[in-house]
Amino acid sequence: MTVALTDRPHALAAGSAPIRVMVVDDAVVVRSLIARWISEEPGLEVVASLRSGREAVDQIEKVCPDVIILDIEMPDIDGLTALPLLLARKPDVAVIIASTLTRRNAEIGLKALASGALDCMAKPDTTSAMMDPAAFRRQLIEKIKHLGARWKKSQARTASPLPAVKPAAPRTSLAITDKAPPRAITHSAPEEIKLRPFSIATPRVLVIGASTGGPPALLALMSHLEGVADRAPILITQHIPPTFTTILAEHIGRASGRPTREAQDGEPILAGTIYIAPGGKHMRVTRRDGAAVIALDDGPPVNFCKPAVDPLFTSAAKIWNSWVLGVVLTGMGSDGTLGASAIVGAGGSIIAQDEATSVVWGMPGSAATAGLCSAVLPLHEIASRIVHVFAGERT
């Protein structure tokens, strides 16, 4: 899954214990390389480097990792079989699936996410991709730091009150004029979240952005949007590589009962259809011959992501103005905040997933603390609020 990265590496608290990482991969070259990368990174420690799921299950209670990098195809016990056994022995461990990019592995990877893994990455193969692994290394280290820190701090955060959420006074304009540039949000200090009123315009288009933890969240959300999915187009950008988006579209189609597909360049955007940004390309909205159509962009990453949420949100605001309702789900970094600002500035509204139900509260937290949201909700309440807003309700 392509991850939204912050401009600077995730900082670990000074003097804190290192994040303990177990690497499980039957390919010795890959296993050794990943272990070396982790060992070279301050604040991270490799506590086990193993070749099979069986070894991981046998060793997990002894080495007590915070994060596991888990391959799918391995001898003895594969990754999908090992996952529930690992979580049974250490429920608070963060598992990142790292597999080669095949349709079979993409299907298994999404099943693993539904079974408790927190993220999924396309592992470079042993040919040309492994010769230049800088992007994969950067993404992997960032995921380990964010997810490891999240789980290490979970007890402390559970005992601490969440940031207060207070509605802002009504405003005559929804444009942002005095906000500092958006930044990635950490959990080091609670911040007050001020909500703005929902737009007076009834939305006609739903756009959604997600990253780490997004696939299960999307499936849960899309299975409860019957009325909205019938009468409005839904456009989704999920940070995820090619092949995974094909499988994700199939899963969302089954969950929603609506036509769902990877978007194609130039196709018209129709109500009752769900469009997924294809892995490796940005999805934007443009207008041709008076009709709104999909525009796929093979340009450079945005916020270190491709696809990225900001291009979708920003372009949707230009085409549909106040008719857009945006939703920012769980994910690292701040991708989606600039796009959310564009939607709000055009008269639309934003809903964000709350911290308690997010795997990582980077993306939704960034939008929320920037003052862009009209609601910050647990995942299980978002669908109902979307349905009510599309019905013209504002509270």
- Rounded Cα–Cα distance for residues 48 and 72 (Å): 17
Active-site pick, 10, 239, 251, 282: 239
- Rounded Cα–Cα distance for residues 267 and 187 (Å): 41
Beta bridge partners of 235: 207, 275
Active-site pick, 335, 349, 354, 374: 335
∠ Cα 356 233 336 (to 5°)? 40
Instruction: Specify whether 335 is catalytic.
Output: yes
- Among 226, 222, 224, 147, smallest CA distance to 187 is for 147
For residue 342, give every residue at least 6 positions away whose Cβ sits within 8 Å of its Cβ, in sequence order, or none: 313, 314, 317, 318
Active-site pick, 49, 199, 211, 322: 211
- Rounded Cα–Cα distance for residues 361 and 150 (Å): 10
251-280 burial code (b ≥16 CB/10 A, e <16): bbbebbebebbbbeeeeebeeebbbbbbbb
Instruction: Specify whether 239 is catalytic.
Output: yes
First to last CA, the chain: 35
Q: How many CA atoms lie within 13 A of 239 on its CB side?
A: 33
Instruction: Specify whether 178 is catalytic.
Output: no
List residues with catalytic annotation.
211, 239, 335
